[in-house]
Amino acid sequence: MKRRNLLASAAMGLLLASGASFAQGMDKVKACFVYVGPIGDGGWTYQHHQGALDVQKTFGDKVEIQYQESVPEGADAERVLTQMALGGCNIIFTTSFGYMDATNAVAAKFPDVKFEHATGFKRDSDNVSTYNARFYEGRAVQGHIAGKMTKSNKIGYIASFPIPEVIMGINSYYLHAKKANPAVELSVVWAFTWFDPAKEADAAKALIDQGVDVIAAHTDSTAPLAEAAKTEGVIGFGQASDMAAYADGPRVSSIIDNWGPYYVKRVGALLDGTYAQADAWEGIAGGEVLIGDITDKVPADVKAEAEALRDSIAAGTYHPFTGPINKQDGSPWLAEGATAPDGDLLGMNFYVEGIVGDIPQ
Amino acid sequence: MDFGGINPVILIATLMASAVPILMAALGEAVVERAGVLNLGVEGMMIIGALGGFIVAVETGSPVLGFVGGAVAGALLSLIFALLTQVFLANQVATGLALTLFGLGVSSLGGQGYNGIKPPSTTQLLPDALADLPVVGPILFGHDWMVYFSILMTAVLWWVLKSTRIGLIIRAVGESHEAAHALGYKVNRIRLMCIAFGGAMAGMGGAYVSLARVPQWVDGITAGAGWIALAIVVFASWKPWRVLIGAYLFGGITVLQLNLQVAGSAIPVEYLSMAPYLITILVLVIMSAGRKANGAPAALGQNFHASR
């Protein structure tokens, strides 16, 4: 009996101590990152890792960084997360949509550890926050360039998985390409992978073989650009990272995910005790989405239009999803002048009118 | 000549190139397994070959030397496997799996600093005049030399395994190492050479991914091709020409399903995505069904020590 009391009061004490330490901020934070690919992928995971390095640079020895690469989405993720939580991580960033259930399951077991899930929407317990970037804003700029630049009037999109994030990107890309060039046709290829350079290259090749001359990718590697480089006249965009190595070849612009500011803000909040659950969704305006340099391959007037589009999105005067927009089946979605509510975007499971093909369910 | 928006000539030409990595790795593994060794480290050897080939090609500026470098890198890694299983008699399955994990890790480490660099390009072997011929041009003459080399290797291995003394010795070692030993053959030495050959082939296959197929270095670039190669060896009943059919089927349907998606096919994408795996296995199983003696080499996976 006595011992049980002792244990209980010890546990109580620990809880109180940790609760108090959160309120007052912390002296040292261990920030942990779970990556879906290798940090050398040159795209998605690379950019998250750059964000992690920014945190380290900003806070120096007040922060300890730990990360694990190429963690499969699913049961393995839960194991990795549990290990990190047990290993003294104070805040854990899970950087892929597929970690959603694992993040929430583990978070429920470790109420003192903060969890931050990228691109997700589930926040089952108080210690889970979600964060995302408005990539569709960047897709709008890409779409405009694509519509203006295509000579065959066929543009392509290498899609990864049929989740709202990707569908949003496809719709935004198509809408703005169509606006720039009414004759444009979009082909979507589902690769069902985030990272498989050979398959991404094959997908790009299939698009090129079918006459597509502008390729956007929603997968993580630079392989589609490398494939595009083999055929004269085909252009593409850097995805997630700038991919500037292809700037003298097919890459005419890029969408850059810039996670550093958000990571620094969140870890900083944990250090000074102002941390609170959040649902962050910043875009070009917040600096989370950057548009990479538009190269000289793009004519000056198109470049100016694209930059004006970017600036109007950043200033908040233009929303990429502004009505009238119909769904693929012709039913109305947004009325004239209406902009898409965030809820619609985050649950997006339909193509807009004009896109051919079905979304895999 | 289009079927549903897909040009079969371009399709065939594309699949021949996209099947090369799997074909090379699977041919090498077929020889290794014929000698009675089960090396599950194909994926590891491929990725080491991809990195080794990439580094050599970038540093020397010669893609051909790059492929040689890939072969050497793959062979060196396979020698670790050979040392552990043939000298120290470690369990082959466990060692092979460890080799894959080791290869993936080492390549990730060694590849630091090689991201985003473009290797010298591997160009078409024959002059444009031939490659531009209608139909036969793209299929027969429009490839880089590795495509021809992989087909040549299929023919050579078929001939060596079937009709030469070396092939007979390799098969003897794989079927009954005791008997081969009694005849005076150095079982472990022969196996070691087969393992190194398999490593070199896997390394070249990997180098084809990083030098020609993708061409660049990124971590984890082979993305599981080694496992497909392993499966194809088994389903192809350890026969070189069937390995070629398996690799082409797999590569072909992978390319076809992507093309079908682009062409707006009515078949749901999920079915298209699983088609390469399903059809390859089905065809190879049907091919090997109903015939006798399609079994694995009798001594596959067993270590040998000349103490008895």
Largest CA distance in chain B: 65
Q: What is the residue whose two structure tokens read 């950043």?
A: A314
Percent of all residues in chain B with a pLDDT value above 90, rounded to a whole number: 54
Nearest to B219 among A38, A358, A360 (CB): A38
Domain residue limits, chain A: 2-134+259-282, 136-255+289-346
- Residues B92 and B95: their CA atoms lie apart, in Å, by 5
- Residues B202 and B50: their CA atoms lie apart, in Å, by 9
Chain B residue at shortest CA distance from A156: B262
Please state which CATH class domain A136-255+289-346 belongs to: alpha beta
Residues composing chain B: 308
Judge: A197–B218 Cβ closer than 8 Å, yes or no. Answer: yes
* Long-range CB contacts (within 8 A, 24+) of A118-124: A118/A48, A118/A93, A118/A94, A119/A165, A121/A346, A121/A347, A123/A277, A123/A279
Q: How close are the terminal C-alpha atoms of chain A, in Å?
A: 57
- Domain A2-134+259-282 adopts which CATH fold? Rossmann fold (3.40.50)
Buried b (16+ CB within 10 A) or exposed e, B155-166: eebbebbeeeee
CATH number, span B8-288 = 1.10.3470
Which alpha helices (DSSP H) does B83-176 contain, by range? 92-110, 128-131, 136, 145-163, 165-175
Distance from CA of A72 to the nearest CA of B (A): 13
Residue B45's pLDDT band (cuts 50, 70, 90): very high
Pairing of strands A128-133, A279-282: parallel
Residues of B with CB under 8 A from a CB of A: 5-7, 10-11, 14, 18, 21, 108, 111-112, 115-118, 209, 213-216, 218-225, 254-255, 258-259, 261-264, 268-270, 273
Q: What is the residue whose two structure tokens read 């979009």?
A: A186
| Residues of chain A neighbouring B112 (CB-CB closer than 8 A) | 40
Residues sharing a CB contact under 8 Å with residue A12, sequence separation 6 or more, in sequence order: none
SS3 call for A333: strand
Judge: A226–B225 Cβ closer than 8 Å, yes or no. Answer: no
DSSP string, B187-230: HHHHHHHHHHHHHHHHHHHHHHIIIIIS-S--TTTTTTHHHHHH
pLDDT of residue B294: 62
Domain residue limits, chain B: 8-288
Residues sharing a CB contact under 8 Å with residue B153, sequence separation 6 or more, in sequence order: B24, B27, B201
A154: region left, alpha or beta (phi > 0 left; psi from -120 to 50 alpha)? beta
The verdict on A195 touching B (C-beta cutoff 8 Å) is: yes
Alpha-carbon torsion (A320, A325, A331, A333), positive or negative: positive
Alpha-carbon torsion (B230, B224, B39, B30), positive or negative: positive
A 129-158 residues inside an 8 A Cβ radius of B: 156
Predicted confidence pLDDT, tens digits, chain A (361 residues): 455 555 555 554 444 444 444 456 788 899 999 998 888 777 788 899 999 999 999 998 899 999 998 888 888 899 999 999 999 999 999 999 889 999 999 999 999 999 999 988 889 999 999 998 898 999 999 999 999 999 999 999 999 989 888 999 999 999 999 999 999 999 999 988 887 888 888 899 889 988 899 999 998 778 888 888 888 889 998 887 777 777 777 888 888 889 999 999 999 999 988 999 988 888 888 888 888 888 888 999 999 999 999 999 999 899 999 989 999 998 999 988 889 988 888 888 899 999 988 888 7
| Residues of chain A neighbouring B214 (CB-CB closer than 8 A) | 197-198, 201, 223, 226-227
Judge: B264–A356 Cβ closer than 8 Å, yes or no. Answer: yes
Residue A49: exposure state from Cβ atoms within 10 A (0-12, 13-18, ≥19): buried
- Point out which residues pair with A238 in neighbouring strands: A254
| Residues of chain A neighbouring B209 (CB-CB closer than 8 A) | 197-198
Judge: A38–B218 Cβ closer than 8 Å, yes or no. Answer: yes
